[in-house]
């Protein structure tokens, strides 16, 4: 299927926001694009017209893509509960509350089947998919039964872009370490690297870009500065904490910011 997966070196590197921008940029070019996140752990959800629920992030990404949000865009939603429990929703329908370890052990096959069904549906109804991973893509203790990162890239057979957050430091080590922990086959899927949440003048990071490209052999597809008060509730952010931006299309504003700082032709070539 035609698409692209965005994975991260860690949680909170900005995968959700980058996927949101890509959905709008592709929609602006007339592409029928759909967001997809196989499994989301989030207490923030939206109710669809048919009564089903998906993560707020995929709901917003569908809005950015100018398409109707549907359950297939987030086939597994886990809503955190007390005592390390989570309520499991498959295709937007609540099923039961389970422990995370039990879910990994007993729901893996059902989860994989549900994800494949959702991918098949979306690929038949859209031109391209923007797929979001979860957390770090190199958690070696979870790789054997993960349903959120490189296994999904393999199911969809799509290329991958790796995102790192430079604002906290350690971006070079996180990029190199992540790639080293992937199998050679999975590493070959990574076609670009994005440095996210950059503060200051990006021209000072040119040597950093050269190092990353020379050391990994993978092109840096962008260095994206922080955009304060972008107006889009992020994955685990309460909506009421954001300032109102009356009359502004926040998705358009955010997408334009991202496009200014990425190699858009490179992204398009990876998608193609």
Give how far the C-alpha of residue 59 lies from the chain's centroid of Cα atoms, to the nearest Å: 13
**Domain with 80 in it:** 3-271
pLDDT at 97: 78
CATH number at residue 191: 3.40.50.300
Question: Among candidates 141, 95, 142, 135, which has minimal Cα distance to 114?
Answer: 95
Joined together, the tokens standing for residue 74 give 């987030």
Instruction: State how far the Cα of 168 lies from the Cα of 103, in Å rounded to an integer.
Output: 32
For 91-116, the pLDDT digits (tens) are 999 987 777 677 777 788 899 999 99
Joined together, the tokens standing for residue 157 give 């057979």
For 156-214, the pLDDT digits (tens) are 999 999 999 999 899 999 999 999 999 999 999 999 999 999 998 888 899 999 999 99
Instruction: State how far the Cα of 127 lies from the Cα of 118, in Å rounded to an integer.
Output: 15
Helix (H) or strand (E) holding 114: helix 108-125
pLDDT at 133: 97
Helix (H) or strand (E) holding 62: helix 56-64
Q: What is the mean pLDDT of the chain?
A: 92
| Backbone dihedral angles phi then psi of residue 125, each to the nearest 5 degrees | -120, -5
Helix %, strand %, coil % of the chain (to 5): 40, 25, 35
Our count of domains for the chain comes to 1
């Amino acid at each position: 299927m035609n698409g692209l997966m965005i994975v991260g070196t860690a949680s909170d590197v900005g995968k959700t926001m980058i996927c949101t921008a890509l959905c709008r940029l592709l929609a602006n070019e007339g592409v029928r694009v759909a967001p997809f996140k196989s499994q989301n752990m989030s207490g923030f959800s939206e109710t669809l017209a048919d009564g089903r629920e998906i993560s707020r992030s995929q709901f917003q990404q569908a809005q950015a893509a100018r398409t109707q949000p549907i359950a297939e865009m987030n086939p597994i939603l886990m809503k955190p509960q007390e005592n390390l429990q989570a309520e499991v929703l498959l295709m937007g329908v609540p099923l039961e509350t389970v422990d995370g370890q039990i879910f990994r052990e007993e729901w893996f096959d059902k989860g994989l089947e549900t994800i494949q069904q959702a991918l098949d549906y979306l690929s038949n109804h859209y031109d391209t998919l923007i797929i979001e991973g979860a957390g770090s893509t190199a958690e070696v203790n979870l790789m054997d039964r993960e349903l959120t990162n490189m296994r999904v890239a393999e199911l969809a057979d799509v290329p991958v872009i790796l995102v790192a957050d430079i604002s906290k430091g350690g971006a070079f080590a996180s990029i190199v370490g992540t790639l080293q922990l992937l199998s050679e086959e999975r590493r070959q899927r990574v076609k670009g690297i994005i440095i996210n949440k950059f503060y200051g003048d990006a021209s000072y990071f040119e040597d950093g870009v050269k190092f990353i490209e020379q050391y990994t052999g993978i092109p840096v597809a962008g260095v994206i500065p922080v955009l304060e008060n972008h107006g889009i509730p992020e994955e685990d952010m309460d909506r009421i904490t954001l300032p109102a931006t009356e009359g502004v299309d926040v998705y358009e504003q955010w997408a334009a910011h991202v496009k200014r700082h990425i190699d858009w032709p490179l992204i398009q070539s990876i998608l193609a």
